[in-house]
Amino acid sequence: MNTDKRLVYMDHAATTATRPEVAEAMLPYMTGHFGNPSSLYDLAKASREALEEARERVAAAIGAEPKQVYFTSGGTESDNWALKGVAFAKKEKGSHIITSVVEHHAISHTCEWLEKQGFSVTYLPVDRFGMVNPADVEAAITPETILITVMMANNEVGTIQPVAEIGAIAKKHGVLFHTDAVQAVGHIPVDVGELNIDLLSLSGHKFHGPKGTGALYIGPGVRLDPLMHGGAQERGRRAGTENVPGIVGLGLAVSLAVADMAENAERLTALRDRLTAGLLAIPHTYLNGHPDKRLPNNVNVVFEFIEGESILLLLNRYGIAASTGSACSSRSLDPSHVLMACGLPHEVVHGSLRLTLGEETTEADVDYVIAAVKEVVQRLRDMSPLTPPELRSQSIGGDKICITRR
C-alpha cells in the first residue's frame, strides 16, 4: 500500500473549504459589527449595509434583483421553503407538483412529506444519462399543477438538466418553476431571467462559502408561505435573526466564484476529461451521467464486481477523499436513487465512485488518483467472489493480495 501522505480532496460536490479571504471578511461581523441589522442604533448600520451588499452580490451572480434574494441557512432550507411554501400558499388553487426522480433528497423527501399532507407528486423519469425530457414535463402538467421543480445540475452524476426548456414550458402553462441550483451556482452560468425561473435554491458551502448559508431567489409575483415564521426579517418572508457573518461570507464567495467561473470551468473540464479517460481505461468500468452535458468538475464511474465503501476506505489510505452511491456508505442503507434511476442494476450501483474536482486540483492530482484507483480496484477485485478469473491479479507477495492455490 502506498504510504504517500499526500491529501487529494476530490469531494467538492459534498462541501468545499471556506476561502481564507471569505473567513476573514466574516470575522469583523462576529466580534465587532455584531449589531442586529434591524435595530436603529449606529451599531446596526454596518451589519445592515453588509447584508444589503451581500444581497446585491448574490443577485448579480444569478441575474436577479437584490430584493428578490432571501437568505436562508442552506440549500436544504431553500428547497424545503420553495416546495412547502408554494404548496401551502397555493393549495386552494391546486395540489399537484412535478419533479424528477434524480432530485436531491432535500427535494424528494420534501415531496414525499407533501404527499402525506394530501398533495400529489409526479416523479418524472430520466434517460440513462440522468436527463429529464422536457416533453415529459409538459405532458405531466394538469390544471391542478402548482409547481414544477427540476434541479439545474445533478449532485451525483453531474448531469445538467434542460432547465431553459423546462422554464419555457412552465411559463407557457402559467405554472411556477423552481430549480435546485445548489450544484450549479458558481460553477456554470445561471440567469433566472433567461431561464424563466421563478424560484432558485443555492447553498454557500458548495462554492467555498460558509456552511449554514444559502439563499432562495423568489421571482416577482410569486406567493409562498414562510417556512420560518417569526420576526419580520427578510421583508417578513424569512424570520430569524440574520446570520450576518454567514451572509457576508456567502456574498463574497459567490462573487469570487462567478468572477473565476469561465476560466475555472475550462481548466476543470480538461482535468475532468483526463480523469475520466484514465478511469475508463480500467476494464469493466463505465461512466455515469451525461458525457458532456455535465458539470465541469464531476466524474462518476462504476467499477463492476466491487463495492464503493471499500473503494473509499482504501482511497482514504492514499489521502484521497471521494464519495460513492453505494448503499453501504449511506446512512439510510439505500443505494443511490440517482444511479438506479439512470437504469444501473443494483449490484453495479454499489461499485460507483464520484470524484469532484476543485480550484486547487492539479493535473498531478488527477494522475495520482488514476494510479491509486487502479491499484484499489484491482485489490478489491482480487478479493471479490464476483470477479471473473481473467480480471484477477496474478502477482504474489508484497502488499498485494494473492490468490491461494492449493
Partner 1 sequence: MYNEKVMDHFEHPRNQGAIEAADGTGEVGNAQCGDIMKIYLKVEADVITDVKFQTFGCGAAVASSSMATELIKGRTLAEAWELSNKAVAEALEGLPPQKLHCSVLAEEAIHTAINDYRTKHGLEAWEETGSHTH
Ligand X SMILES: Cc1ncc(COP(=O)(O)O)c(C=O)c1O
Instruction: Classify 106 as helix, strand or coil.
Output: helix
Task: Rule CB under 8 A: choose which of 5, 40, 174, 229 binds partner 1.
Answer: 40
The grid coordinates of residue 337 equal 436513487
20 or 398: CB nearest a copy of itself: 20
Q: Does 51 bind a copy of itself (CB under 8 A)?
A: no
Site string for a copy of itself, 18-47 (x = CB under 8 A): xxx-xx---x--xxx-xxx-xxxxxxx---
CA pair distance 99, 242, nearest whole angstrom: 31
CA pair distance 195, 182, nearest whole angstrom: 16
Strands (E), 133-262: 145-149, 176-180, 199-203, 214-218
Name, in order, each residue with C-beta under 8 angstroms of 110's C-beta and a sequence gap of 6 or more: 79, 80, 83, 84
Please report, for residues 127, 161, 270, the alpha-carbon distance to residue 292 in angstroms, rounded to integers and kept in the order given: 14, 12, 12
Report the nearest approach of ligand X to the CB of residue 210 (Å): 10
Give φ, ψ of 157 to 5 degrees.
-100, -5
Site string for a copy of itself, 167-206 (x = CB under 8 A): ------------------------------------x-x-
CA pair distance 353, 390, nearest whole angstrom: 23
Residues near ligand X, by CB under 6 A: 74-76, 79, 104, 106, 151, 155, 180, 182-183, 203, 205, 214, 240-241
Find the binding residues for a copy of itself in span 285-314 (CB under 8 A): 309, 312-313
Task: Rule CB under 8 A: choose which of 14, 60, 228, 401 binds partner 1.
Answer: 401
Site string for a copy of itself, 241-280 (x = CB under 8 A): xxxxxx----------------------------------
Q: Could you tell which of a copy of itself, ligand X, partner 1, none binds residue 80, using a CB distance below 5 to 8 A set by kind?
A: a copy of itself
Q: Could you tell which of partner 1, a copy of itself, ligand X, none binds residue 255, using a CB distance below 5 to 8 A set by kind?
A: none
Task: Rule CB under 8 A: choose which of 56, 165, 225, 375 binds a copy of itself.
Answer: 225
Catalytic residue among 111, 328, 342, 402: 328
Question: Residue 68 has what DSSP assignment?
Answer: G
Q: Identify the CA nearest to 398 among candidates 1, 42, 3, 91.
A: 1
CA pair distance 45, 48, nearest whole angstrom: 5
CA pair distance 81, 218, nearest whole angstrom: 11
Find the binding residues for partner 1 in span 6-25 (CB under 8 A): none
DSSP 240-273: S---HHHHHHHHHHHHHHHHTHHHHHHHHHHHHH
Q: Could you tell which of ligand X, partner 1, a copy of itself, none binds residue 405, using a CB distance below 5 to 8 A set by kind?
A: partner 1
Respond yes or no: is residue 328 known to be catalytic.
yes
229 or 406: CB nearest a copy of itself: 229
Find the binding residues for partner 1 in span 283-342 (CB under 8 A): 305-307, 309-310, 313-314, 317, 326-329, 331, 333, 335
CA pair distance 83, 99, nearest whole angstrom: 11
214 or 251: CB nearest ligand X: 214
What is the residue type of 239?
Answer: A
CB-based closest residue to ligand X? 75
Q: Does 232 bind partner 1 (CB under 8 A)?
A: no
Q: Does 113 bind a copy of itself (CB under 8 A)?
A: yes
CA pair distance 150, 173, nearest whole angstrom: 16
Q: Does 323 bind a copy of itself (CB under 8 A)?
A: yes
Name, in order, each residue with C-beta under 8 angstroms of 21's C-beta and a sequence gap of 6 or more: 252, 256
93 or 346: CB nearest partner 1: 346
CA pair distance 395, 401, nearest whole angstrom: 8
Positions annotated as catalytic residues are 328
